[in-house]
Chains A and B, each alone.
Chain A
């Protein structure tokens, strides 16, 4: 009995984390935070590297949930998240989603879409709050 959060170092990721923490409390289960990267560039701003990862762990401790952070490096980011879902026997997956323009849909594959379609467990898809809250 676990809730898995697909985390990225941006507003969508933070929204997913907040809802994931709430879900874990509601269900009284532990939390697995997955922050995957393709690992093919020197800097990936959606990946919590160095002090950002420490910060994330501190935040989870502060919120008082039983959580682990996993940071797999995999060319297939969605696949890496789904592998964790299968491995820990999760009963829910929480992801953050965003609007994409028609051009954006054409040029960028969507990790969120693959998770929605391929996840074997129910997916909770959340959006960041309005722009007022998104400035972090």
Chain B
């Protein structure tokens, strides 16, 4: 508890408060704009880590992450186009509410629900992360190796609709992670001395997220403008409160564990929350016509999962969402190694970050309720201006890593890869996590085999590792077995599939 109070002392210094404000505002505005997400924004801002203190940068990035989760809901509700993948579900009921003249209530339940869920999630994070870290610190290299493998398989196989596409993306990411001479002999360097140090994660992240997206948008520049629902200041009546608070809490209960698991992600809990609310609602007839529960639950779920994601990130060094992956990259560029040691080695930083999550959450509520009409205006920005700016900052960021023109070529090459991935619907997340975790996976494997003097059975010598392998086997095999047996799908799974078809045309 004292640690947390010290953390607040760090988070509430004027300069860190300023970073939190910038992060929250920036995060919300990029969350509002479809196609530009917190992951891209943090990637574009990675070069600021050269000048800003680690506390300041991480506090800003955490603000962007939370803000992005919130901002997506505004676009979903007003425009029926989700700003973020995690607010796909919000669009179903939220836009119906807006069309029925209840946009203010939809925005209010999303904002207050996000605040409630974010705060509960952050409390759970503060309570859990240090104990998880204490437990993990005793694990050996074989367990680490197994847990990382589990995270890679889970992120690839559980999220997204096509496992094949996921594994293609993961393979690309792991290959990019191999480039360099970290093992002594050059791999995939093509005899180029500039590739000897490997490809900087900043360049890869900026290329895949920013350049890839900018090229993709440039290929689809002109589209029919959408109808936006005009909105005033969000507010809720008594009936809305009484219908919202239970979905908020249930959404939090779904979101946090899903975020905290290595298989993380914010989409699945929003789906589950929506289905639960539809089943439990006293007004089932309103679902599909603008039920406030259908906005309150999923919005709480996606913010709670954002808090949950911080558990594996801080305690294990395992990113489970794209934004967490880029935040991890920023920590590495400070020479910080997230994981169990972080709580002991950098208490000021970690507790400052945790405290700033509370601050960011409160700022979001305070800023966003009055600012909703301003966020709606952002959607009028012409895309050419927006993406010209993104391309500029992307190139600047990539160049400033090493100040060599070669990085700009790499940036362009991976930008084209990012465009191709969007064209062929390959998920980006497995690639970016592969790039980050690949080298660490190899390092842990090397450690384990070195200690055992080359005996492969050491990989199964720790109980945690065995459990992880069993879970991996389950993740891979259960869907196969279910498909072979055919038929007997349970109603929940069917409802999930239906919902997924509905939102992914």
Q: Does A40 contact B (CB under 8 A)?
A: yes
* Shortest CB distance B481–A (Å): 44
Q: Which of A11-19, A46-54, A110-118 lies at the interface with chain B?
A: A46-54
B79 contacts across to A, CB distance below 8 A: 42-43
Cα distance, A49 to B34, chains bound together (Å):
18
**A43 is contacted by which of B221, B222, B225, B384 (Cβ under 8 Å)?**
B225
**B379 is contacted by which of A37, A43, A52 (Cβ under 8 Å)?**
A43
Which A1-59 residues sit within 8 Å CB-CB of chain B?
37-45, 47, 49-52
Cβ contact within 8 Å between A50 and B380: no
Cβ contact within 8 Å between A44 and B227: no
Interface of A is mostly: loop
Cβ contact within 8 Å between A51 and B222: no
Q: Are A45 and B380 also in contact (CB < 8 A) when A37-B225, A39-B224 are?
A: yes
Q: Does B280 contact A (CB under 8 A)?
A: no
Which B1-55 residues sit within 8 Å CB-CB of chain A?
33-34
* Shortest CB distance B403–A (Å): 34
B75 contacts across to A, CB distance below 8 A: 42
By beta carbon, the residue of chain A nearest B79 is A42
Q: Does A73 contact B (CB under 8 A)?
A: yes
**B224 is contacted by which of A49, A51, A75 (Cβ under 8 Å)?**
A49
Q: Are A41 and B379 also in contact (CB < 8 A) when A50-B227, A51-B227 are?
A: yes
* Shortest CB distance B379–A (Å): 4
B221 contacts across to A, CB distance below 8 A: 39-40
Taking residues whose C-beta sits less than 8 angstroms from the other chain, chain B's interface range is 20 to 34
B224 contacts across to A, CB distance below 8 A: 37, 39, 49, 71, 73
Cβ contact within 8 Å between A44 and B222: no
Cα distance, A14 to B223, chains bound together (Å):
24
* Shortest CB distance B246–A (Å): 33
Cβ contact within 8 Å between B379 and A73: no
From A41, A50, A74, A75, residue with most partner B Cβ within 10 Å = A41
* Shortest CB distance A52–B (Å): 7
A50 contacts across to B, CB distance below 8 A: 226-227
By beta carbon, the residue of chain B nearest A42 is B379
By beta carbon, the residue of chain B nearest A49 is B227
Cα distance, A47 to B225, chains bound together (Å):
7
Q: Does B381 contact A (CB under 8 A)?
A: yes
Which B202-242 residues sit within 8 Å CB-CB of chain A?
221-228
B225 contacts across to A, CB distance below 8 A: 37, 39, 41-44, 47, 49
Cβ contact within 8 Å between A41 and B381: yes
Which A66-123 residues sit within 8 Å CB-CB of chain B?
71, 73-75
Cβ contact within 8 Å between B227 and A41: no
List A residues at the B interface (Cβ < 8 Å): 37-45, 47, 49-52, 71, 73-75
List B residues at the A interface (Cβ < 8 Å): 33-34, 75, 79, 81, 221-228, 376, 379-384
15 contacts between A and B (CB under 8 A): A38-B222, A39-B222, A39-B223, A39-B224, A40-B222, A42-B34, A42-B225, A42-B379, A43-B79, A44-B380, A45-B228, A49-B225, A50-B227, A52-B227, A73-B224
